[in-house]
């Protein structure tokens, strides 16, 4: 078995506030293999983006990694000094943000932003960096790249801007790309194109992707494995096909049931009753217990740990044998 590219062990992110410490992400453990696409789904506030931010070392203060370790290619990166972490960002780990309308600096030409990033990461002359920038824009599917490169961000449409963002994230051919809701802010009609471009380019370069989204459809089409998050923890993780066809955790079942299918004539859309708890009021035991249709007594008092139930799959639910207490 090959060594994982990224290995996260017991990651916990906390936010000290006036009303006590909030735990945004708790005890996350996962591996990403080289070239693999790991999807991460969950509702807003489940801690998906926070996990991505923690991996790339961009948690906004006062948030902090309270416990856990992050290893990249056998090197621990969660406790690096800021300058060393900066050298990893962009070079080893790239990131694609949610909203292409706000992630490009409006006052700088696309060429300036690309060339600056390339030259920060790679020893290149101005001219060589510019050539590379044009090539990158061409790769992400911007027509007439050589001419458009000197345009400003506002002269591009949303989908085109997200392509530019992808080009910026892939500038230095990182080993891992964290895509934080890369299509959420886009028109449905261009979402598929953006996902295709991202997936294809990463595959060509052998880069792994951590794809954070709440769109199960995107995960189903793109990811190799999927981690389902709920209230800051991983509820279930496994190969995409297995998880979708044969969900183990009741929360995952609810998520799958909530996806409307064409041809089905439903009066109402399926939903999971209730709402995800606020970080300040996470219930005792399993965080999902107040909403769970299959709740057991045990769920209300004891928290299940993410435990292997069958090869390649892990679930945090008392319904299955072999699940231990967290």
Partner 1 sequence: MLAFIIRRLAQSVLVMLFVALIAFVIFRYVGDPITSMVGVETRLEDQEIMRDRLGLNDPVVVQFARFIGNALQGEFGISYRLQQPVTELILSRLPATLELAVASALIALVFGVVLGVFTALRPKSFLTAGIMAASLVGVSLPTFLIGIGLIYVFAVELGWLPSFGRGEVVDLGWWRTGLLTESGLKSLILPAITLSLFQLTLIMRLVRAEMLEVLRTEYIRFARARGLSQRAINFGHALKNTMVPVITITGLQLGSVIAFAIVTETVFQWPGVGSLFITSVQVVDVPVMAAYLMFIALVFVLINLIVDILYYVVDPRLRVDGGAGN
Count Cβ atoms within 10 A of the Cβ of residue 72 and give its class: 0-12 exposed, 13-18 middle, 19 or more buried: buried
Q: With respect to partner 1, which residue has the nearer C-beta, 158 or 308?
A: 158
Minimal distance in Å, beta carbon 6 to partner 1? Answer: 16
Minimal distance in Å, beta carbon 137 to partner 1? Answer: 15
**Residue 286, φ and ψ in degrees, nearest 5:** -75, 130
Q: With respect to partner 1, which residue has the nearer C-beta, 110 or 323?
A: 110
Confirm if 170 and 177 have CB atoms less than 8 A apart.
yes
Minimal distance in Å, beta carbon 248 to partner 1? Answer: 34
Minimal distance in Å, beta carbon 199 to partner 1? Answer: 20
Count Cβ atoms within 10 A of the Cβ of residue 118 and give its class: 0-12 exposed, 13-18 middle, 19 or more buried: buried
Q: With respect to partner 1, which residue has the nearer C-beta, 88 or 317?
A: 88
Residue 15 Cα to chain centre, angstroms: 20
Q: With respect to partner 1, which residue has the nearer C-beta, 15 or 156?
A: 156
Minimal distance in Å, beta carbon 317 to partner 1? Answer: 34
Q: With respect to partner 1, which residue has the nearer C-beta, 125 or 271?
A: 125
Q: With respect to partner 1, which residue has the nearer C-beta, 97 or 251?
A: 97
Q: With respect to partner 1, which residue has the nearer C-beta, 47 or 100?
A: 100
Q: With respect to partner 1, which residue has the nearer C-beta, 89 or 225?
A: 89
Minimal distance in Å, beta carbon 179 to partner 1? Answer: 11
Q: With respect to partner 1, which residue has the nearer C-beta, 212 or 276?
A: 212
Minimal distance in Å, beta carbon 272 to partner 1? Answer: 30
Minimal distance in Å, beta carbon 120 to partner 1? Answer: 5
Minimal distance in Å, beta carbon 53 to partner 1? Answer: 9
The footprint of partner 1 (CB under 8 A) covers 56, 58, 86-91, 94-95, 97, 99, 102-109, 116-117, 120-121, 151-152, 154-157, 165, 168-169, 171-172
Confirm if 75 and 157 have CB atoms less than 8 A apart.
no
């Amino acid at each position: 078995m090959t060594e994982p590219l990224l290995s996260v062990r017991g990651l916990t992110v906390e936010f000290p506030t006036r009303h006590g410490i909030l735990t945004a992400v708790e005890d996350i453990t996962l591996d990403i293999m080289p070239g693999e696409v790991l999807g991460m789904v969950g509702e807003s506030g489940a801690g998906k983006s926070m996990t991505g931010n923690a991996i790339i070392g961009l948690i906004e203060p006062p948030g902090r990694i309270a416990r856990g370790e992050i290893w990249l290619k056998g090197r621990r990166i969660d406790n690096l000094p800021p300058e060393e972490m900066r050298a990893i960002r962009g070079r080893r780990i790239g990131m694609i943000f949610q909203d292409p309308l706000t992630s490009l600096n409006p006052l700088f030409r696309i060429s300036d932003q690309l060339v600056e990033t390339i030259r920060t990461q790679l020893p290149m002359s101005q001219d060589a960096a510019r050539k590379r920038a044009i090539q990158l824009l061409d790769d992400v599917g911007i027509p007439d790249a050589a001419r458009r490169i000197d345009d400003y961000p506002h002269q591009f449409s949303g989908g085109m801007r997200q392509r530019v963002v992808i080009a910026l994230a892939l500038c230095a051919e990182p080993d891992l790309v964290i895509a934080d809701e890369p299509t959420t802010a886009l028109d449905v009609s261009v979402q598929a194109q953006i996902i295709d471009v991202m997936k294809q380019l990463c595959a060509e370069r052998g880069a792994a992707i951590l794809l954070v989204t709440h769109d199960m459809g995107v995960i189903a089409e793109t990811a190799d494995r999927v981690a389902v998050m709920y209230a800051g923890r991983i509820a279930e993780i496994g190969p995409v096909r297995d998880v979708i066809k044969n969900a183990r955790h009741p929360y995952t079942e609810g998520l799958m049931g909530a996806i409307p299918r064409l041809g089905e004539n439903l009066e109402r859309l399926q939903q999971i009753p209730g709402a995800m708890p606020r970080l300040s009021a996470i219930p005792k035991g399993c965080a999902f217990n107040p909403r769970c249709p299959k709740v057991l007594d045990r769920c209300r008092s004891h928290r299940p740990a993410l435990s292997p139930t069958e090869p390649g799959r892990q679930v945090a639910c008392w319904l299955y044998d072999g699940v231990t207490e967290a």
